[in-house]
Amino acid sequence: MLQRRTYGLLAAVLAVALFFAFSYRGAPSLSDGMTSYTAGTTQLSGSWKERVERLDTRLDSTDAGPLSEAWQEVSQSLATELPEADLDQLESTWLTRFDKVITTLERDQSPPSSATSRKQDASQLDLALKRELERLNSETAADTSAATTEAKQAVRRDRAVELRKATLAVHDAQDQVERLKVQIEREGRSNRLASQKAQRAAALAKVMPEVRSLLAPFITPGYVQPARGRGSYNLETTTEKKPVSLERLKLVGALDDTSKGHFYLLRFGGGRNTSGNRRPLGSFPNYLGGDISVNVQSVPRVKRAQALLREHGEALVEAQLLSP
């Protein structure tokens, strides 16, 4: 479509140039000129043909040379501008400008009375037309430049929009990656915790018979707990029957591998008659009263009970065999 419209517009302008150059009296080759003119005008639309026919009544052979050159320059300029211009607007613009040229001819041309006056009139007409064509050519260049600038700005706007979309897409992708990282880390932590819990449960299962026997005074539910406070021998009574608190044993120092630690654990776990802990002893030693020196034979089993509580205390809480 572009090539056909372009050819039609160029043919219109070139037909006018051919008309000026060859279709008047005194042309170098009238038959060649008319053939070329006829070939050109067959491409013209009705609106262009009317304007060419009006020119036919207004010009004579003395105008052919200068006007042919002028129109040739216009046609070359137009051919260069066509690829960048809006063709509908361009055709409308040049039809208007063609009308202005005809109006100039009709206004400035006087009926020739002699050869001298004809030459003077032709010179004046030539000058007026050249000025008009220069002005029109300048306007065309300005219009084309403006159209090109607007097209470039439109391209820049489109690119800015696309860049904005691409930037937002990148940010969304980055946010998604961060969310996936957090999710993977959370799942990994959860898997590690589950794995560690399973390992603790497996380790506890291996010593469970010993735990149920030696730690009976601690894993059996009862109504007393060690009182809060380091080194305290006091007890706290609870309304709910539950196993001994692992945290309470740690707070009073009953899990410390020291003489005091051994004594605290022995006094609470084995002191059924002195501490009020009525839970069954199992294989845990009975507290005989006095300090640790009086109960020296019980120390090995107390130390083993401490070791079980320190090593498997968390698993015992998870299995609900000890209170937190």
pLDDT tens profile 19-52: 444 443 344 433 444 344 444 444 445 665 666 6
CB distance 28 to 3 below 8 Å: no
Amino acid at 184: I
Residue 243 CA to residue 240 CA, distance in Å, equals 10
pLDDT for residue 39: 46
Residue 305 CA to residue 262 CA, distance in Å, equals 10
The most confident of the ranges 45-59, 107-121, 164-178, 246-260 is: 246-260
Check whether 203 has a pLDDT greater than 80: yes
pLDDT for residue 32: 43
The model carries a pTM of: 0.46
CB distance 235 to 224 below 8 Å: yes
User: What SS3 class is residue 2?
Assistant: helix
More confident of the two residues 147 and 84? 147
Q: What percent of the chain has pLDDT over 90?
A: 32
Confidence band, pLDDT 50/70/90 cuts, at residue 64 = low
All residues at 6 or more sequence positions from 217 whose CB lies less than 8 Å from its CB, including other chains = 244, 268, 269, 270, 277, 279, 280, 281, 282, 284
Instruction: Say what the alpha-carbon torsion angle 108, 112, 116, 122 is, to the nearest 10 degrees.
Output: 40
Instruction: Report residue 213 as tokens.
Output: 């026997």
The average pLDDT across 85-113 equals 61
Burial zone of 180 (CB within 10 Å; 0-12 exposed, 13-18 middle, 19+ buried): exposed
User: What SS3 class is residue 236?
Assistant: strand
Amino acid at 93: T
DSSP assigned state of 323: B
Element (H, E) at 43: none
Length of the chain equals 324
Residue 290 CA to residue 288 CA, distance in Å, equals 7
Instruction: Tell how many helices (H) and how many strands (E) occur in the chain.
Output: 11, 2
The most confident of the ranges 99-113, 121-135, 264-278 is: 264-278
The ranges assigned to domains in the chain are 2-159, 209-318
Instruction: Report residue 118 as tokens.
Output: 């004809």
All residues at 6 or more sequence positions from 79 whose CB lies less than 8 Å from its CB, including other chains = 10
Q: How many other C-beta atoms can be found within 10 angstroms of the C-beta atom of residue 152?
A: 10
User: What SS3 class is residue 235?
Assistant: strand
Element (H, E) at 59: none
CB distance 25 to 60 below 8 Å: yes
Give tens-digit pLDDT for 137-193. Answer: 677 667 667 767 888 888 888 888 888 888 888 888 888 888 888 888 888 888 999
